[in-house]
Amino acid sequence: MRCLNACLFFSTLIVICVSARSKDKVNDLTPSILKFTNGFSRYHSFPHVVGRRDIVWSPLSLYEAMLMVHEGAAGDTAKELQRITHLKTKDEHQQWSLTYLTDLEGSKDNRQSNISVKIANRLYADEEFNLDQEFKNNLKKFYHSDLELLDISKPDECAKRVNDWISNQTNQMIKNVLKPADITPMLRLMLVNALHFKGAWAKSFDADLTTKDNFTLSNGKQIEVSMMHQTAHFSYHHDKKHQAQWINLPYKGNNRYVLTLALPDASIELRSLEQKISTTRVLENIFEKLDNRSLVPTRVQLALPKFRIESSLDMISHFKNFYKVKLPFDANNADFSLMSSSRSKDLFISKIIHKAVIDVDEAGTEASAVTVIQMLSRSGMFLHEDPVRLFFTRPFLFYLRDVNMKVPLFVGRFTGIPMP
């Protein structure tokens, strides 16, 4: 994989629906999405879930998706979804999305530094479905989602139209998400979210310095990886309390977007580090230290493997087991009546799949992700200093973050053991 002086991140979310205001503004986006991120990361660090394997996912894409799903939920179903979003009212859900989308669309820093970060939502509806007008208007106002009508009697055409939109939004990186078989006679709605990031390392790695080196797995075995090298000044923090070294690798621009890496000390395993930083406040404190612009950068001799990770995750299992959320997936009791003008309660979520891929090399990063939610009907200047030696030759964590808005776009871990 060669990024050609650019880093690419893509995330796409599809919500398939098939039939049978307490605050003025949410200014701080951090607490709710970090709780969401930590909950998911904590659950997927359990050995019985995915084992100690590589993983990557997009908190922002999934979170935005759950906000949109909540828009159409009512009663106890909406209350259960609040356990996932960690927001209490519909107004908070709407303002969270609007705050982020408005800031992103108005960012001059991104345009000036040739950083491209794009998030797009779209509502597809069966032309025969009685779509609720307020639901449609709220998706447009707070999620900037346009409406497109579909003739579901033509499944090939419907799948192609949605796939073409996703492909265009993700710079052709994600294709053929839907198959004609996904367009069933019971299909009524599809909510689609696409997230796209493109940028370049502020300090690129010299490909001529890349070497073949050993990487030690958690079981002590060693594998050979392509290791990138550079020595430069970075925002660096050795958290002795939680026994890990942290570093921000910035992308070009005003350090708004960074890839944060966490390497556990040699005395502890990655799983132990994940448990130590499992509370939102701990992670917030670490990010605050790294993102402090007054922090004097540290000279670091860095070694980082080129890596590619692909993940496919069962989100319903996560929400049921970790959050104890049941109603949205209950065919008999789910209440998504706010999506229909008839207020009928015949929709429930049958499947949530999140797939993601990330590549990291000397020039930068390329990544993509897709989430499908199916709803079925029940009908500058430095003194010389010795560099810190930071070699990622054992399992580590990574967070691609928006520093200004304190929002994680992609999160994962590299263990050297791919998903089966």
Q: What is the pLDDT of residues 251-305, one digit of tens each?
A: 888 778 999 999 999 999 898 898 888 888 899 999 999 999 888 999 999 999 9
As assigned by CATH, the class of the 207-306+381-414 domain is mainly beta
Six token digits for residue 69: 């799903």
Specify the pLDDT at position 241: 94
Phi, psi of 132 (to 5 degrees): -70, 130
Amino acid type, 255: N
What 3-state DSSP class applies to 203?
coil
Identify the bridge partners of residue 25 per DSSP, sorted by sequence position: none
Specify the pLDDT at position 354: 76
Residues of the chain with pLDDT under 70: 1-27, 44-52, 108-112, 372, 379-385, 420
Domain ranges of the chain: 7-200+308-377, 207-306+381-414
Identify the bridge partners of residue 402 per DSSP, sorted by sequence position: 257, 407
Nearest in space to 316 (alpha carbons), one of 305, 304, 307, 325: 325
**Whether domain 7-200+308-377 has CATH 3.40.30.10:** no
Specify the pLDDT at position 50: 46
DSSP codes joined into one string, 362-398: SS-EEEEEEEEEEEEE--------PPEEEE--S-EEE
Specify the pLDDT at position 191: 82
CA distances from residue 321 to 318, 325, 415 in whole angstroms, order as listed: 5, 8, 24
Nearest in space to 150 (alpha carbons), one of 142, 161, 140: 161
Q: What is the pLDDT of residues 319-344, one digit of tens each?
A: 998 889 999 999 899 999 999 999 98
